[in-house]
Structure 1
Amino acid sequence: MSDQAISQVSTVTLLRFQGSNAFWIFAQMPKAPKKFEKVSGLKFFKLMGSGGKNGFSKMLNVNIYALHCVWDSEEHANDFFQRSTMFSEFKNRTTELFTIFLKATRAHGLWSGSNPYQTQNLTPTGPIAVITRARIKLKFLPKFWSKVPSLGKKVDEVNGSIYSIGIGEYPWFMQATFSIWESYEAMHNYAYGNPLHLEVIKKTRELGWYAEELFANFIPYKTEGTWGKLHDQLNGKL
């Protein structure tokens, strides 16, 4: 399939809930998948919670959630976000909501038994987004969580980091990260120049921490909504 024939796009939507709506979204976690399965043009989806602080904590953040979707086309994505009664209910209950549209450029590994991304041969000239996801073997949970909080804290201190958050389908053993970087070089320098991150990579390979893992790069190309300063930080670079 040529790059011109690839119409697939991905989206990451950050959602903030307050008060009684935080209880509402928590209750939707087991209910929503059946509704998402009926959405036209939606190839893959995950509704995920987040951890405390910047997401890299064993404590749950009951206010922030993330919806990750892979669409057959941008038209399908727009139809869902603009006209779906299901998404309208989500939107109306949030105090803040932000959707980032993405094109996958690299993806390897599996997520729930498959790799949902069709990659395009695009050269990043600006910001790059990264999704990492792992299902951790139960026997390695203590070792994993002894490293992750410190690692997450360091991401915010790295030059070239725009945004990062730890998210997951289930607390503690199904973990994902979503991060945005000013450039591919900034992301690469962190991934392979940070001693703590390199140690985690080494341990992962040596000990086999993960039962399943995936790593994907994306080019963000448009956004909708607001999320603190992220809207201005990112849109000025797209």
Structure 2
Amino acid sequence: MTTRRMVTLHVWGVPGRAVPGALVRVATDRPALRRTPGLRFAKLLGTGRGRTFTVRDADPRRWALLAVWDDADDADAFEHGPLLRRWRRPAEEEWSARLRPLAARGRWSRAEPFGRPWPQRWEGPVAAITRARLAPRKALAFWRAVPPVAADLHAGPGLRLALGIGEAPIGLQGTFSVWESAAALNAFAYTRAPHAAVIEQTARQGWYAEELFARFGLLSAGGTLGGRDPLA
């Protein structure tokens, strides 16, 4: 079925002197998020390059907020509220996107944050989120298998943006990526050899204690990352 849910992603780049404050806000902003009207799900996230899924990838100067809203009106109201102002005050740059869930399977923190949207066709750029909680006994095998996939992701035709995202430096990991079209995302997901091999190993070895894969239509985006508009 279709869904009215609106998904927003905000990514901030902060100077080195602001990193301790960002770490504090990741913890202290959670109660305020829980009280936000119309907010169904939210995660304050660290980010990284998404190449090894270890602490080596982490970028302490870049932070993100992923939020799922009942509808666009709730997202609009939040956009001008005090929580985002606190993150913007020390930030050197910000990039944000609005997304419409197109397909999702799996769970994140035992929830289905994007609902169960009926798969839809989408003309234009699409985004994907993958997220996994590693089974501790399987973590080493996973980390050994990831580098070829990550390298292939960043070299993938049609890729416009890729970020590692995580709730912790190790074990709770994911990626956010934007592709020029659904066809480009499908080509990476289903025809690139490194990714196909990892899908097969995942099913056979049971790397994940929890996993989620979701696809979105990119409704709008703006701002900069690394001093440039990543979608320009």
Tell me which amino acid in the other structure corresponds to 2:107: L
Greater displacement, 116-125 / 86-95: 116-125
Pairwise CA distance, 1:229: 3.5
Structure 1: how far apart are the matches of 2:63 and 2:147? 19
Match of 1:49 among 36, 42, 46: 46
What are the equivalent positions in structure 2 for 1:45-194 lying under 5 Å apart? 45-51=42-48, 54-57=49-52, 58=54, 59=56, 60-82=58-80, 84-118=81-115, 119=117, 122-194=120-192
Within 1, Cα distance between the matches of 2:100 and 2:168?
Answer: 26
Deviations 1:102-145 (A, max 9, x none): 00010011111111213266421111100011000111111111
Distance 1:56 1:198 in 2: 17
- The aligned length equals 227
Tell me how far 1:43 sits from its aligned partner: 0.6
Q: Is 1:216 aligned to residue 214 of structure 2?
A: yes
Aligned to 2:200: 202
What is the TM-score with the length of structure 1 in the denominator?
Answer: 0.90
Match of 1:15 in 2: 12
* Amino acid aligned to 1:154: D
Aligned residues of 2:11 and 2:62 also touching (Cα < 8 A): yes
The answer (yes or no) to whether the contact 1:163–1:230 under 8 Å persists in 2 is no
Matched residue type, 1:230: D
SS of the counterpart of 2:114? coil
Q: Is the CA contact (8 Å cut-off) linking 1:11 and 1:99 kept in structure 2?
A: yes
Q: Is the 8 A contact 2:160 2:231 kept in 1?
A: no
1:232 CA displacement: 4.7
Give the Cα separation in 1 of the matches to 2:68 and 2:4: 11
Partner-residue secondary structure (3-state), 1:108: strand
Q: Deviation above 6 Å: which 4+ runs of structure 1? A: none
CA contact (8 A) 1:17 1:93 kept: yes
SS at match of 1:114: coil
Amino acid at match of 1:34: P
For structure 2, the 5+ residue unaligned runs are none
CA distance in 1, matches of 2:231, 2:105: 31
Contact (CA 8 Å) 1:8, 1:71: kept in 2 or not? Answer: yes
Write out aligned runs for 1:24-43 (5 A). 24-43=21-40
The gaps in structure 1 that reach 5 residues or longer are 234-238
Give 1:229's aligned amino acid: R
| Displacement after TM superposition at 1:176 (Å) | 1.1
Whole-Å Cα distance in 1 between the matches of residues 231 and 163 of structure 2? 18
Q: Distance in 2 between matches of 1:95 and 1:35?
A: 23
Partners of 1:24 and 1:206 in 2: CA distance:
42
> SS of the counterpart of 1:30?
helix
Judge conservation of contact 1:55–1:61 (CA < 8 Å) in 2.
Answer: no
> What residue is the counterpart of 1:230 in the other structure?
229
Q: 1:236: which partner in 2?
A: none
Q: CA RMSD in A?
A: 1.6
